[in-house]
Structure formats: structure tokens, C-alpha cells
Structure 1
Amino acid sequence: MKITAKTIAEQLGLSIATVDRALNNRGKVSPKTLKKVLEKAEELNYKPNMSASLLSRKKQILIAIVFPVYPEYFWKEIEIGIMKTYKDLRDFGFEIDIIRTKKFDIEEQVKVVQDIINSGDYDGLVLSANDAAPLMQVINAGIESGFPIYTFNNDSPLSKRISYVGADYQDSGRLAGELLERFTHNSKKFALITDKMNTFQMQQKVLGFIDYLTQCNGMESIRPLKISNTELSNLIMELKQDIEQVDGIYVATGALAEVAREIEKMKLSKKPILIGHDMNKEIHHYLLNDVITATICQDPVYQGALAVRKAFDHLMLEEPIKVVEDIVKLEIVTKGNVKYYIHD
């Protein structure tokens, strides 16, 4: 039987209103009555109705959620998770404001974060940091002023941020190295395609990838092939000679589909094993057509949902942060299971 305030009121011969005031520390209740109600609640293992409590308090919270524009397909999935959780929580006075920033414009994102903190309009910030070090100072300044900041997907681990939801990117890089080794079987030469913007996330992927290769006999990587999202097609074609000499390629950037498209155009006599990250319709297409061998996914919908939920629990329910780093699982997607990872 569910124990309610009415149950306690009936057993003590009190009004429901009196019991409600005692349980929620609201209004005048004599110390003697308060003691009786709390003891009976403990005896009956009473669990408060959090929804009713929140609604009765009429508490209002507004948080800003800041993340980049690119790659659009990935952040669209993140936003699906954010909105899914928000729809469950908005009736309790919990509001969100989504703000998008350019992918690698660090100065713009620092300014956006500073403006959010200084505005006085928000009660907290959930942030996907474009890079770790440049944002550390502004995050720390916000935290020290009493402004809660939580990170997701892209972390600033040396900052004083309250919590992080996202992948372990060194593990991502190691997993990519393991996949290349297993798909090529023997001693092989690999290419590592990175972004010209050497962000913290990129550094972690590269560290993990190189770490795995150094532990394996007969595996080597040619110099990192650095690309940018502007004029990507021309850059890939310029790297054709490098690509022709390798057995496998790890695309550590968010440009897996673009790299696959250019490799397909090369009409190579021997297709390299191609490994990268995330999922969209183009990646789905190239997996089915054996241009991409495998991609590593990190459940962006879940990341978005959990990041919002953690901020709600901490700010609205005033619950302490028990897990500072919620590391999401990495999932390997190949031609055989890709149908489960594409959404309309």
C-alpha cells in the first residue's frame, strides 16, 4: 500500500493540511506535532511525492545549454535527448534556453559563457566546451561566484565544473586502434586523420590511438593527416598518395562521411579499412556500401537527456552530485547492425 500524507493523518488523527505542512516544513506546526508526524512517517517508510512537492513550492529555474553548431547531425541527436527530458520536467518550473555556437570559435564561446554568467538571467549552465584549457578560467570564475556549471560531451576536466556527462575520448582512440588491428589482421600501416584545430577532445583521441598502436608489434602510423572542414575535398585529394600506401584509416574528426565520400571518388585498387565516429544518413550509406568499415557511437540522445536531468536534480531537487563523471558507453556499429542506429 502506498503511504501518503492522508495515511499518516488518519493514523495520528490529524488533518491532512497539518501533516502536509509538517512533512514539507511549510507553515506553523508545533514541535510536538512535528515530532509525531516525522516519527510516524519514518515508521511507515513514507516516501514524499516529489512532483507534488515541487509544484507546491512553485520554484522557478532557468538554465542555459550551450553547444556547437557543427556537426549538425550529431548535435541534432543531442538536442532530441535534451528536449525529451525537458518535456518531462517543464511542468515543475524548470526552463531551458538552448544557445548554439560555432564549432571552433573558442573566443565566441568564452564570451557567450561570460555573458550568461554576468546576465543574472540564469540559474546555471550546461556546457559542451569547445576546448578545455581556454574555458577553464571562465568556468572557474563562474563556479567561484556561486554560478553552477556542468559540462557534457566535451569536458574541461581541470576546471571546477560540477559534473561531466560524455565519452572517455582516450578510450575512443584506443578502440579505433583495436578495430583497425582486428579488421586488418596482420602487421599494417595506418593513417590518422585529425582536425587542424588541436582541441582537448582531439588530443585525447590521438593519445589513445597512438597508445594502442605502440603496444602492438608490427603496427605503425604515418604522420597525422590534418584537415579542416573548409575545402575538405581538395585536402583529401592532396592526401591521395598517403592514403594509397596505408591499410587502414582512423578519422578522429567529425568528418567521417566527408572522408568516405572523397575516398570513394579515388577509385582505389585496394580500399583501406575506414574507422571513425558517430552516425548519420551518409555514414549509414557508406557502411552499407563497404566504404566505411565501422564507426564508434556514444549515444548522443542519452548524453543530452542525462546532462539536463543532472542539472535538474542538483538545482531543482537540491540533490548532491554523487557521480561527478558519467562516462557513456562506446558502441561499435558495422554494416551488420547499422539499421538499429539510424533515425528518421
Structure 2
Amino acid sequence: MSREKVTIYDVAEELGISIATVNRALNGKPNVSPETKRLVVDAARQMGYKPSKAAASLSRNPKRIAVLMMSTIMGFVAEVKRGIMKAYNDLKDFGLEVDIIEVVGDEDVDAEYIRRLDEIADEGYDGIIMLPGNESAIAQRLKQPGYGGKTVFATVVSDIVGSKCLFSVRNNGCAAGRMAAELLGMMTKNSKKVALVTGRNELFVHSETINGFKAMVDESGLEFVGVYEHYDKPSIAYKLADKLMNDVPDLGGIYFSSANSVTFCKRLIELGKISDIEIVTSDIFPEIEMLMRDGNIGATIFQNPFNQGKLVTRYMFEHLAEGRQFEDRNILLNPEIVLKSNIEFYSKNIEYVKYDMFI
């Protein structure tokens, strides 16, 4: 990505303070100490910062962004939403307005998502950020002539390939899959047979991860037995454990490429199988932390949903307010390996949503 000039974000990052504080200091607003104001002004001058005329006019002409979220995995989505709200709180003084629309449900959730997308596409938003579900159906909508008018579209967590979405902020799924395969290669002992359990194979974010995992299987000395889908439904994940154990009684390892792993692990405990299988999961929830501390999960791949939400909102605003362009539309965050020894450094920064992941 290229940027022609220094922005207020760069000044805030350089000083390690909030964008709102930099804004107050540069514009003579209250609630900023004289020392902080001097530091901000000096840093801005040294870095060559010049106020944006476009940004200065935003209070009179705010930028409206809608975020349409498929809330099938509540804990993960809650962290994405928290990141969005962090960006909003940083930028609201500059004229950013954000509406978050969550789609929940079981049977017709994909149809409901499309219905809500059609609604907000006609409401004159400057930008729409999508955490998508049925990507093929969304792609067909976005291909319709004139759909959304001048609205700018972007995605977070997954992507809609071949659509008119300007950019996508997501975890580097291919890297995550490769990391998981390498971990299982080191963790498995008696049996090298491994399975990958995911939400929906058709989703781009999952297909990326699956491809990365498969690419590393042979090099890691593993035997790949297949992909098992639970469609992000805990009840299906619970039953899927029985199927996998029946299919591969001598299974050595499992990689859960989506966040919905807890009910599956609970069933493995009930079956008395979890101690025989090495497990790598995705992300961090209270139940996953507990299972890791008990030695039932060996590692988890952290996808940083908070930063995904924060960055997609900030980048959308920068594009709308200052014309930021993207040389590469794929903005990929590096996945991180979390072990029992370092999980506390991650879990303490996550505001867990209290809900029952068990059934």
C-alpha cells in the first residue's frame, strides 16, 4: 500500500498515543496537557504532517459506514466488533459514523444476510464492510449493474473473490494452515493421521487455510485423512466427533481451522479420546484457554479478530476521507502461535463474551 503523505495516524503511531489525542492537540481542543500538545506538534512538524482539507471538512460532511456481520460464532465476532468500535471511537471526532448490523439465526441466515445487504445497499452509505456468509450469493449481488450506487465495499475475516470489493482485511489463512500442519508434525507421535475440521469448506477464508494445511502435510510427515465440516453449528460439531472417530479410530491429530472447536473437544472428552489425539485450534475463548491449561489442546492459531475489525474500519475511513488507495487489495494479518506457556499474554487482552459454547 502506498501513502503520499504523512497522516494523523502516523503521528499517533509514532508517539504511541490515540488518534483522538493527536487530533485534540493539533486543533487546540481541551483535555490535552501542555506537554502532550508540545510533543504532538513537534512530532507532526518533524514528520512533515499537513492537515488534510478533506478531513477538516468531515465534521460538516460525515462519512457513513455500515458493517454487516454474520454472527455465527459469537465470541469471535464480538472481538471483530470490539475492534470496529475502537476505530470508531478514535475517528468519530473526524466525522465517522458507523452502523453495525448483525445477522443471527440458523436455518435461513444466508437468505437473511442477503436481504439485509439489499436494504443497506439502498440506504446511501459511503461504505459497506461485510463479514460475509454465503459468498457466492453476495458476489452475484455485487455484480448487478448499479448495485449500491457509489457505495464502496470491503470485506473482513473472509473475502469475496472476483467482486468489486475494494479491499479485504483478514488473517493469512494459507500461513495459518501451514503453521498448523507443521505443529501437528512435531506434536504427533504414534499415529501421523490428521484431519482438518472447519466451518464451511466453500468459504474463502476456510479454503485458504485448507490449501495451506494440505501444502505442508507431506513435508511435515503427516497422512491427511480429510476435511470435516460442521457449518459453524455447535450441535453438528458435537456429532461430527463421533463420525470422525468411527472413520479413523487411530487418528493422531486434528486441526480446527475455525473458531467453533469447543463442542467437538467436549465430545472427545466424553468418548475418552482426547488424550490420544494432538489438537491445534483457532483463536482463544475461555473454554479453549481452560482446555489448553488442562493439556487437552496443544496449541491454537490466533487470528487477531480485534485488529481485523479495527483495521478494516480505519482503512475504509481513510479511503473515503483522504482517498487512500491500495496497491494490494489483500491486507493479510500474520497468524500467531499460542501455547500454554504464553496464553495469558493473549487472553488478558480479550474481552470474552459470556455465552455457553457447550450444548
Range that drifts further, 270-279 or 128-137: 128-137
What is the CA-CA distance between 1:272 and the residue it aligns to?
A: 0.6
Q: Report SS of the residue matched to 2:296.
A: coil
Distance 2:87 2:147 in 1: 25
8 A contact 1:131–1:154 mirrored in 2: no
TM-score, structure 1 as length reference: 0.78
Which one of the candidate residues 192, 195, 210 is aligned to 2:196? 192
Structure 2 counterparts to residues 64-143 of structure 1, below 5 A:
64-102=66-104, 105-120=109-124, 122-141=125-144
| 1:264–1:243 distance in 2 versus 1, CA, 3 Å | farther
What is the CA-CA distance between 1:295 and the residue it aligns to?
A: 0.7
- Cα distance per residue 1:110-133 (max 9 Å; x no partner): 22222211233x111011121432
8 A contact 2:275–2:296 mirrored in 1: no
| 1:76–1:106 distance in 2 versus 1, CA, 3 Å | same
Which one of the candidate residues 315, 324, 334 is aligned to 1:329? 334
Range that drifts further, 167-176 or 185-194: 185-194
8 A contact 1:61–1:94 mirrored in 2: yes
Report what 1:227 is aligned to.
230
Over the aligned positions, Cα root-mean-square deviation in angstroms equals 2.7
Residue 88 of structure 1 aligns to which amino acid in structure 2? Answer: D
Residue 192 of structure 1 aligns to which amino acid in structure 2? Answer: L
Query: Does the alignment pair 1:151 with 2:193?
Result: no
What is the CA-CA distance between 1:199 and the residue it aligns to?
A: 2.4
> Any gaps of 5 or more consecutive residues in structure 2?
1-45, 352-359
Report what 1:60 is aligned to.
62
Larger Rg: 1
Identity of aligned residues (%): 26
Range that drifts further, 178-187 or 288-297: 178-187
Report what 2:23 is aligned to.
none
Distance 1:214 1:198 in 2: 24
Report what 1:260 is aligned to.
265
8 A contact 2:192–2:223 mirrored in 1: yes
Report what 2:317 is aligned to.
312
8 A contact 2:237–2:261 mirrored in 1: no
Range that drifts further, 208-217 or 63-72: 208-217
Report what 1:213 is aligned to.
217
Q: Report SS of the residue matched to 2:98.
A: strand
> Any gaps of 5 or more consecutive residues in structure 1?
1-43
What is the CA-CA distance between 1:99 and the residue it aligns to?
A: 0.6
Distance 1:204 1:103 in 2: 26
Asked which structure has the greater RCO (Cα within 8 Å, sep 6+), the reply is 2
Q: Report SS of the residue matched to 2:197.
A: strand
8 A contact 2:122–2:148 mirrored in 1: no
| 1:251–1:330 distance in 2 versus 1, CA, 3 Å | same
Report what 1:40 is aligned to.
none
What is the CA-CA distance between 1:306 and the residue it aligns to?
A: 0.5
| 1:267–1:205 distance in 2 versus 1, CA, 3 Å | same
